[in-house]
Amino acid sequence: MVYVTRKCHFSASHRLYNPEWSDSRNDEIFDKCNNVRGHGHNYVLEVTVAGQPDPETGYVIDLKKLRDILEEEIIEKVDHKHLNYDVDFLDGIIPTAENIAVMFWQIIERKLPSGKLHSVKLFESDNNFVEYFGDPVKIKRFTASHEAAELV
């Protein structure tokens, strides 16, 4: 198995808060990340695909294709956006790096032409990053009426 990684960047704003909680509870848990008008990050996304190199091309996946998938399916949708309001697939989801990475996985996995998605690594800063390997997780999606639905 060979692991191939494409790295890309985007800048976005977000606010971390749970709409079912009081303001004081949100402040207690999310502190500055609960700033009402949001705050921004320069995110770095690293996506790793695993597979056997094709005998004819030597590629696990053509990195130009992976680049295009990430550009079209992810970067164009999140770059210079507010993750709480502007991104369909994050609608109602608390946009922590954890939750964003899982939602990215679901999108990227469906689009891969070859190889197997191995990891989605999302840096929120130089020091803070999350890594997701596709194990089933449940993410809560809040609706406008604050009734919550579960996702896988």
Would you tell me which residues interact with Ni ion (CB under 5 A)?
A: 33
124 is an active site residue: yes
- Is residue 33 part of the annotated active site? The answer reads yes
Least distance to Ni ion from the beta carbon of 116, Å?
Answer: 30
- Residue nearer to Ni ion on the CB measure, 43 or 105: 43
Q: What is the DSSP string of 94-142?
A: ---HHHHHHHHHHHHHHH-SSSEEEEEEEESSSS-EEEE------EEEE
Closer Cβ to Ni ion, 41 or 111, answer by number? 41
Q: Is 80 among the residues known to form the active site?
A: yes
Choose between 33 and 75: whose C-beta lies nearer to Ni ion. 33
> Least separation, in Å, of the C-beta of 125 and Ni ion?
8
Q: How far apart are CA 74 and CA 12, in angstroms?
A: 12
Q: Angle, to 10 degrees, between the axis of helix 97-111 and the axis of helix 63-70? A: 130
Catalytic residues: 33, 80, 124
